Structure 1
Amino acid sequence: MPNQGWQQQQPQQQWGPPPAPPKRGSFAMAVAVAVAAFGVAVYWAILGVMRIIIKRPHQSEPDVVARLLAQTGGNGDLLAPLSIADMVLKLLAAVVLVFGALLIVLRKVPGAFLVAGAVLLGILAAACHFFYYDQIGWSGTSDTYVVAALTLVVGVAAILPPVTNALQPAAQPQFGHPQGGHPQFGNPGAQPQFPQQPQFPQQFPPQQPPPGHGPAQGPPPPGYGPPR
């Protein structure tokens, strides 16, 4: 009976789910945000230094301020703390924006959140500026409000997806492990594994014994056998 062949069945490769497409980011936009943040930081630094150099009305003209407080009913004890807080917040906002801009240029995600966090410092500085002059009935300068609005715009732009995605490292594609005994190409030193071939017993035709072996056939030759 001739040997029966077999069909080598190749199992299908089963891979994992396709990797998600990489999120698109714009590093040019991130650099623009960093430059804008640095410019706003310089603006804050100038205002903070001016608060140190230039005296506030309660320091330069205490008599005038006292008359104004009597007319408006403001609290004179709040003027000094509000003035100091205004100065500190402006300088702190400048420092935070500088560090945030530097980290954005270096493609660090925390830089975007530092720039966004400077918005809170700007709002607090603008609030201190407003309440200081509100005590004495003055409107005060508008520079603090302008730079606070610019900080808000830059802070919102820093956390937009095109900026944050540009700061994150690109994700490497990940595939599932092949199944079914196929060669594993991920390990260069591993030996390729193929499906084992089924073993079948070999069948050969029956062989006849050579002459002179086996039982004798026919009558014995003369001279042999029992005596008569």
Structure 2
Amino acid sequence: MENDQPRLPERDRDPSPQRGQGPRSRFVRTGAVLAVLVLVYATFSGLVAQPYAVPTGSMENTLRPGDRILVNKLAYRFGNHPARGDVVVFDGGDTFGSTGRESDPLSRLLRSAGASVGLVPPAGSEYVKRVVGTGGDRVRCCDARGRIEVNGQPIEEPYLRPGPSGAPGRASAVPFDVVVRPGRLWVMGDHRDGSEDSRHFLGYPGGGTVPVERVIGRVETVLWPLGRAGGLGSPHG
């Protein structure tokens, strides 16, 4: 005897391949990709290389205020050490007499984020200068021709900001005679009349010298502006 009860119609399977991939799902995927990209960039800038904005004119004309530079953070790893003539970024807090840190946590966070991509200058405790003397060097100013001597030998500094005549500026208006302790650096700006550097902190702990472990990295190139983009080259031409 046949069953007179009506059969329920079968439901068609959803032919759409996008099932379960609505706006919320796409938002989650996009957020995950962005999070990974941020993590990769943070790792890269923290360990390998990072852009910086030059805050002052103390390194003119090699570097100018507002220049975006690339700092190689691996330059002094694996047994390498800063050498005379290198342009370096370092943390001069305490050594140079000021931590330069903002008291407001939000301000510190925003500045740190902006500095990590080179949009704003780094915190006030970070400096960019040129290495003039390394551990064990005797650095003095000046000889009869106004040049700095390192271990009794005058050094040529073609990178100095030119004076009014167009010739390289004077090596220093501040006399000094120091022996750099091992593990420390004597650093100066290329604009000698416009740079607060090791000369100006002789009375502070460390005698104005910077511990090598405070060096963040070596400046490799100018990224911006495009008209000045390129590597710094050899300091001795």
Which structure ranks higher in relative contact order (CA pairs < 8 Å, sequence separation ≥ 6)? 1
Same fold (TM over 0.5): no
Q: TM-score, normalised by structure 2?
A: 0.24
Query: Which has the greater radius of gyration?
Result: 1
Q: TM-score, normalised by structure 1?
A: 0.25
**Between structures 1 and 2, the one with greater strand share:** 2
